[in-house]
Amino acid sequence: MHLLYQIFIDPFVQMGTAPDLLVQTLWEGLVAGVLYSLIALGFVLIFKASGVFNFAQGIMVVFAALALVGFYQHGVPAFLALGLTVVVMLLLAFAVERLILRPLVNQPDIILFMATFGLTYFLIGFGELIFGGDPKVMISSQLGLPSGSYQIKMLGGFVQLQKIDIAAAIIASLMVAVLAIFFQKTRIGRALRAVADSHRAALSVGISLEQIWVIVWFAAGIVALATGIMWGARSNVSFALEIIALKALPVLILGGFTSIPGAIVGGIIIGVGEKIGEFYWGPLFGSGIEDWLAYVIALVFLLFRPQGLFGERIIERI
């Protein structure tokens, strides 16, 4: 009886009695969620255009952040370093297309998936070789990102909003908006969707697969860079960041592998769900549930909508 009370009543009583804490938790969940969304977005872009589940998306985040900091440490001014990192991501996209995708064209998806594993470990090794394995500090202030926080008095308490989190939310939303319009409204966007549907047909109308792949990998690289900056600004830049990429999995299950809005909403649900779960129900399990709660949410969700929130409905004609 007491347990039931602890599970079903007590957390809500707490939410009611300290609404400022609830708002704070929601906000933190939202910010984490936005970053999950960004990572998931990188996966969705590549999956949509090439049907490849890019396991290396996580390490691309780390790699981009490391390159940025690395350039800066070698005396390159911050914004120039940012520009150079964009160039690095473009080169990476070209290299991936040339050395991985092109030789493996028409191979089963699982082979391409395994190839992205290879890419992951290559990038880890290559990154450590160039930038070293020690954690680095993101150059957020040099890039003009705000630090410090606002304290807002509300609901009989304080809510603290980190400025960097607000910036992250704004940048992420802009990025998503631009990508969504890009996919829906432009010739290249239409070509991307075409490639996602049928390689053969896309080739026959004169869409160059090579070009499209470079574009999506580059777009995913830019998304990775943004994620790397935002995440790096909150903790350090190190290879440990790669773990957060695994958080994108439950987000994708929730949102559907092919949907950009799905990645956003999924990310936010997972982020908020995690923080709320940890804060209010965590103590019941001795805390630390943040690490696995996302997967549980995704599993429960799978039972009801296997195709995800916005995933394409699977209709099988028999």
Q: Does 202 bind other proteins (CB under 8 A)?
A: yes
How far apart CA 63 and CA 60 sit, in angstroms, is 5
Given the rule CB under 8 A, which of 57-65, 166-174, 181-189, 285-293 is the region that contacts other proteins?
181-189
Q: Does 234 bind other proteins (CB under 8 A)?
A: no
H helices of the chain, in order, are: 2-4, 10-17, 19-50, 57-73, 78-96, 109-131, 163-185, 187-197, 199-204, 209-234, 242-246, 248-255, 260-276, 290-304
Q: Does 98 bind other proteins (CB under 8 A)?
A: no
One residue of 197, 285, 287, 288 binding other proteins per CB under 8 A = 197
CB atoms within 10 A of CB 135: 13
Closest residue by Cα to residue 192 from 211, 173, 175: 211
12-35 b/e with 16+ CB inside 10 Å = b?
A: eeebeeeebbbbbbbbbbbbbbbb
Q: Does 205 bind other proteins (CB under 8 A)?
A: yes
Q: Does 196 bind other proteins (CB under 8 A)?
A: yes
Closest residue by Cα to residue 55 from 39, 35, 38, 67: 39
Phi first, then psi, for residue 159 (nearest 5°) are -120, 130
**C-beta of 191 vs 265, nearer to other proteins:** 191
Min. distance of Cβ 180 from other proteins in angstroms? Answer: 11
Q: Does 204 bind other proteins (CB under 8 A)?
A: yes
Closest residue by Cα to residue 38 from 185, 171, 143: 171
Min. distance of Cβ 84 from other proteins in angstroms? Answer: 22
One residue of 142, 147, 173, 198 binding other proteins per CB under 8 A = 198
**C-beta of 134 vs 312, nearer to other proteins:** 312
Q: Does 78 bind other proteins (CB under 8 A)?
A: no
Q: How far is CA 77 from the centre of its chain?
A: 27
**C-beta of 163 vs 185, nearer to other proteins:** 185
Min. distance of Cβ 49 from other proteins in angstroms? Answer: 13
Q: Does 307 bind other proteins (CB under 8 A)?
A: no
One residue of 13, 201, 240, 296 binding other proteins per CB under 8 A = 201
Scan for tokens 């040099």, then name that residue: 142
Element (H, E) at 158: strand 157-162
Closest residue by Cα to residue 102 from 202, 212, 197: 212
Q: Does 90 bind other proteins (CB under 8 A)?
A: no
**C-beta of 98 vs 190, nearer to other proteins:** 190
Q: Which residues bind other proteins (CB under 8 A)?
A: 178, 181-182, 185-191, 193-194, 196-198, 200-209, 312, 315
